[in-house]
Amino acid sequence: MMETPEPSTSRKELFPVPSTSGASDEQPSASETPDQGSSEDAGSRTSSGLRHALEGLNVNASGSVLQEAEMYFLQKENQELKAKLAHLSTTFSFEHIKDDAQLINMYTGIPNVHLFQTLFALFEHRELTYCLGWTVGIIPKRGQLLITLMKLRINLLQLDLACRFNCSTTTIANIVSTWIHALHETLFCQLMKEIPSRQKNRLCLPGCFSVFSNCRIVLDCTEVKYIKPKSLATQKMTYSAYKRQNTVKGLVGVAPNGVITFVRELYPGSTSDKKIVADCGILGKLQVGDMILADKGFLIKDILPAGVDLNLPPFLTTAQFTPEQAVQTRTIARARIHVERAIRRIKCWKILQATPSNLTAQATTLFQVCSALCNFQFPLIAEVEDLYGSSVHD
């Protein structure tokens, strides 16, 4: 029988295979091991597999296998928990919605990423003066604009925004107040300072205004809900018999091309259209030869400057309109639809449907900012032509 060589003493076996002969240390004879090569191969594979497993656990010769295994699984669990925590603490940002125009429009009221970037470019390099006296550094400017637009468009609670953007409600309040002021100063005070002239209007005059080529502006009033004031006198002033609730009322002016060009202070809901027109300053901007297009409720002809015309739908004084009056009513309605749809867009900003108590004093500013932001949406002209284009040739 071939003599089996002694194991090397320079390398200590971690897991020596136990003897099957009890206390005897002698090697089994050939008759006792009919398949010695197969057993040795199996033992070698088992030992090799264990060594590979232990190497993954970073086990050393002096360590405890059980402790090292426990440590390995604890570390693995710790890594999984860290990954979950990182996922849960991910801050909402513009990066989450920039590739989805539908989401951008839902959250901000701006149709797509290109128009959002156009708006942001107006403020990207501008120094902001924060309303609470300290600068917000944990959220970038683009994120601050997103927060403000989300507040205006869908009127999320401050706590909701704070959770989404991983900051405090005080930070949200600081951002929103600051950016509302910045938006108002740039979009309203600067870009809507003057109304376009007749000559400028004619450069993009839609077909429905072909018979009103001297129209300078289309006017209409709208009301938005106002929190019931504590003062009885103010309650009476803001109560609207038409809406049957407390409201504030604003005058909106739209150019023939559908752009909102005039919005002024909000008035108590009980204020008449005529008083608002007389008081808001629109008449001082009109020139000889200008024409105002308005609804029949605007009985303002006696207060118009000399040389300024007013075009209203005809009043029904008989059982029915004459054919000429019917055509005139229809023609004016096709042109006036611009201001009605513009007002509908303004009211889509949910901040105006339920203005928070801490922003009530800024009701006029909010109304003007939302009106100005509507001009960053797709033009109204295409929408109006789609709806009424077929009827022009009837």
Q: Which pLDDT band holds residue 36 (cuts at 50, 70, 90)? A: very low
Identity of the highest mean pLDDT range in 230-239, 319-328, 384-393: 230-239
pLDDT at 327 over 80: no
Task: At 309, give phi and psi (nearest 5°).
Answer: -100, 155
In single-letter form, the type of residue at position 316 comes to L
CB 264 within 8 A of CB 285: no
pLDDT at 245 over 90: no
Closest Cα to residue 270, out of 219, 228, 223? 223
The span from the CA of 335 to the CA of 342, in Å, is: 12
- pLDDT score at 322: 66
Q: Catalogue the E-assigned strands of the chain.
A: 215-225, 239-240, 245-254, 260-263, 267-268, 291-293, 309-311
DSSP letter, residue 94:
G
CB 258 within 8 A of CB 384: yes
- pLDDT score at 17: 41
CB 303 within 8 A of CB 284: no
pTM over 0.75: no
Q: Which pLDDT band holds residue 51 (cuts at 50, 70, 90)? A: low
For 373-386, how does the pLDDT look when each residue is reduced to its tens digit (9 = 90+)?
999 998 876 644 45
269: buried, middle or exposed (CB in 10 Å: 19+, 13-18, 0-12)? buried
pLDDT at 138 over 50: yes
Identity of the highest mean pLDDT range in 19-33, 146-160, 368-382: 146-160
Q: Which pLDDT band holds residue 118 (cuts at 50, 70, 90)? A: very high
Q: Which pLDDT band holds residue 389 (cuts at 50, 70, 90)? A: very low
323: buried, middle or exposed (CB in 10 Å: 19+, 13-18, 0-12)? exposed
Closest Cα to residue 136, out of 178, 107, 88? 178
For 283-313, how does the pLDDT look when each residue is reduced to its tens digit (9 = 90+)?
999 999 999 998 878 889 999 999 999 887 6
The span from the CA of 57 to the CA of 65, in Å, is: 9
- pLDDT score at 34: 42
pLDDT at 157 over 70: yes
Q: Which pLDDT band holds residue 28 (cuts at 50, 70, 90)? A: very low
- pLDDT score at 228: 79
Residue tagged 């072909």 (tokens): 210
For 66-80, how does the pLDDT look when each residue is reduced to its tens digit (9 = 90+)?
888 888 888 888 888
pLDDT at 323 over 80: no
User: Which three-class secondary structure state does DSSP give residue 314?
Assistant: coil
271 vs 325: which has the higher pLDDT: 271
Closest Cα to residue 219, out of 268, 291, 284? 291
CB 378 within 8 A of CB 111: yes
For 204-239, how does the pLDDT look when each residue is reduced to its tens digit (9 = 90+)?
888 878 788 899 999 999 999 888 777 888 888 888
Average pLDDT, the chain: 80
The span from the CA of 110 to the CA of 119, in Å, is: 9
CB 158 within 8 A of CB 172: yes
CB 175 within 8 A of CB 136: yes
Residue tagged 């015309």 (tokens): 309
- pLDDT score at 236: 84
User: Which three-class secondary structure state does DSSP give residue 245?
Assistant: strand
pLDDT at 14 over 80: no
Residue tagged 């006036």 (tokens): 336
- pLDDT score at 279: 94
Closest Cα to residue 225, out of 106, 373, 347? 347
DSSP for 158-191, written as a single string: HHHHHHHHTS-HHHHHHHHHHHHHHHIIIIIIIT
Q: Which pLDDT band holds residue 60 (cuts at 50, 70, 90)? A: low
